[in-house]
Copies of this chain bind each other. A is one copy, B any other.
Amino acid sequence: MNLTARTAEQIGEALRRTRKARGWTQSDISARTNLRVATISSLENGDAGAKLATVLAVMAALGLEFRLVERGGSLEIEDIF
């Protein structure tokens, strides 16, 4: 699962995929973040106008964090082994 993102669409996709991988619903994320389901939906659909705080809250709920890397940057361990 490659979760590289340069656009809001890609971030939304990554969040949705991770959520599904966890077997969770948008409602689950909503409960863990105090964000409305509608907000989660909007974010997953690539809303570039979303607030950074919103993205970070969902990331935290999913147990994710950001790495800021050079474009086309280094491989990760899993990509090799």
Contact = CB atoms under 8 A, between A and B. Distances in A.
Interface of A: 3-8, 11, 14-15, 18, 47-53, 55-56, 59-60, 63-71, 73-78
A6 B74 contact: no
11 contacts: A3-B67, A3-B69, A5-B65, A5-B68, A15-B68, A18-B68, A50-B52, A63-B71, A65-B69, A67-B67, A74-B78
A59 B6 contact: yes
One complex includes copies of this chain to the number of: 2
A70 to B, nearest CB: 6
A67 B8 contact: no
Contacts of A56: 6-8, 48
